[in-house]
């Protein structure tokens, strides 16, 4: 019967792939990154401030609250600001019978036509260009209303020369664009540097006079501004998120290295215990050899 062989040393199990410490670090890092990203997004939204709502949502006001044709040129009262474009207004006055024009070269639903353009004289003597509606090409515009009128419409910026489809000369009574700079040469009173697309005259839509309502070319938009302080806070939170990710990654790496080092230390311990202890008694063969020499 062969002698029993000594049992082989038991090697310690390899380190686990995910320790409780590593799991805790990973969860804490993910939460920190998520919180920083959410707070950064919140500050970003606060940094994009809506100064005013779209003009179409604002209450209807008198034309004098938006632009004043009688104000000195270059003053805020005489200039239509960007947040006033598309504002719904009313104006009271009379149409100037001497100014009845067609703005030619305007299409509607794919058809050629023209805008019927008039000038409403206000109580202060100034004039507001008013687009009464659209007529098909070749059709005359309906006669101007006589007497006092109440016009409702939408404020629009004056058109520039680049808006004209052509630079050719036109017969009397026709123009290419709606421009106060041109209209002021045809009258002897101040003209507002704007125009109004009518949505109603004395409570009646343009269709009641055989015209088609002209939609505003520029309906306006909400005014926004940037709050640099809140935007800086947003960037700061996103930097914190990046920093949390780097710190978490390094903590997991160091934890894994520590677990691996401990496992290797446990593997080396049984091998050192197998050899003779240093300074121990010599074996039997060494004793017999020493006796033979004597």
Residue with token string 């410490």: 21
Decide if 116 contacts 106 (C-beta within 8 A): no
pLDDT of 130 > 60? The answer is yes
For the chain, the structural domain boundaries read: 16-50+225-271, 55-221
pLDDT confidence of residue 76:
57
Range with the lowest mean pLDDT among 26-30, 187-191, 225-229? 225-229
Q: How far apart are CA 64 and CA 78, in angstroms?
A: 10
Banded model confidence at residue 192, pLDDT cuts 50, 70, 90: confident
Residue with token string 């998120």: 241
Q: How far apart are the first and last CA of the chain?
A: 38
pLDDT of 92 > 90? The answer is yes
pLDDT of 263 > 60? The answer is yes
Q: What is the pLDDT of residues 246-256, one digit of tens each?
A: 998 888 888 88
Decide if 103 contacts 178 (C-beta within 8 A): yes
Banded model confidence at residue 294, pLDDT cuts 50, 70, 90: very low
Where does 67-122 show beta strands of DSSP type E? Answer: 88-108, 111-121
pLDDT confidence of residue 284:
45
CA-CA-CA-CA dihedral for 189, 190, 195, 196, to nearest 10: -70
Q: Calculate the average pLDDT of the chain.
A: 79
- Residue 31, CA distances (Å) to 27, 43, 217, 250 in order: 6, 18, 49, 16
Looking at residues 144-170, what average pLDDT do you find? 87
Banded model confidence at residue 185, pLDDT cuts 50, 70, 90: confident
The gap from C-alpha 144 to its chain's centroid, in whole angstroms, comes to: 44
Range with the lowest mean pLDDT among 8-12, 168-172, 177-181, 184-188? 8-12
Q: How far apart are CA 128 and CA 159, in angstroms?
A: 14
Range with the lowest mean pLDDT among 36-40, 73-77, 201-205, 217-221? 73-77
pLDDT of 270 > 90? The answer is no
pLDDT confidence of residue 291:
40
Share of the chain above pLDDT 70, in %: 74
* Exposure class string for 21-58: b at 16+ Cβ within 10 A, else e: ebeebbeebeebbeebeebbeebbeebeeeeeeebeee
- Residue 186, CA distances (Å) to 80, 143, 173, 210 in order: 22, 19, 11, 27
Q: How far apart are CA 189 and CA 192, in angstroms?
A: 10
Looking at residues 198-225, what average pLDDT do you find? 78
Share of the chain above pLDDT 90, in %: 23
Residue 200, token pair as written in the block: 């109603």
pLDDT confidence of residue 228:
77
Banded model confidence at residue 283, pLDDT cuts 50, 70, 90: very low
pLDDT confidence of residue 160:
83
CB atoms < 10 A from the CB of 113, how many? Answer: 22
């Amino acid at each position: 019967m062969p002698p029993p062989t000594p049992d082989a040393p038991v090697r310690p199990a390899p380190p686990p792939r995910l320790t409780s410490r590593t799991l805790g670090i990973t969860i804490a890092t993910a939460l920190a990154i998520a919180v920083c990203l959410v707070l950064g997004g919140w500050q970003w939204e606060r940094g994009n401030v809506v100064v005013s709502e779209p003009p179409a949502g604002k209450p209807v006001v008198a034309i004098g609250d938006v632009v004043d044709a009688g104000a000195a040129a270059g003053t805020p009262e005489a200039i239509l600001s960007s947040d006033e474009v598309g504002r719904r207004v009313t104006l009271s006055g009379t149409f100037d019978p001497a100014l009845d024009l067609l703005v030619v070269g305007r299409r509607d639903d794919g058809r050629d036509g023209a805008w019927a353009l008039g000038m409403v004289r206000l109580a202060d003597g100034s004039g507001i260009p008013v687009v009464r509606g659209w007529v098909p090409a070749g059709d005359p515009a309906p006669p101007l209303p006589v007497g006092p009128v109440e016009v409702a419409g939408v404020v629009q910026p004056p058109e520039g020369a680049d808006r004209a489809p052509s630079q050719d000369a036109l017969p009397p009574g026709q123009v290419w664009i709606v421009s106060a700079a041109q209209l002021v040469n045809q009258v002897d009173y101040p003209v507002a540097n704007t125009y109004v697309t009518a949505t109603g005259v004395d409570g009646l839509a343009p269709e009641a006079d055989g015209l088609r309502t002209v939609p505003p070319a520029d309906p306006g938009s909400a005014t926004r501004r940037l709050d640099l302080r809140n935007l800086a806070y947003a960037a700061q939170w996103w930097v914190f998120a990046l920093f949390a990710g780097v710190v978490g990654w390094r903590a997991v790496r160091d934890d894994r290295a520590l677990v691996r080092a401990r496992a290797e230390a446990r593997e080396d311990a049984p091998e050192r215990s197998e050899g003779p202890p240093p300074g121990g008694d010599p074996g039997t063969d060494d004793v017999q050899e020493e006796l033979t020499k004597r």
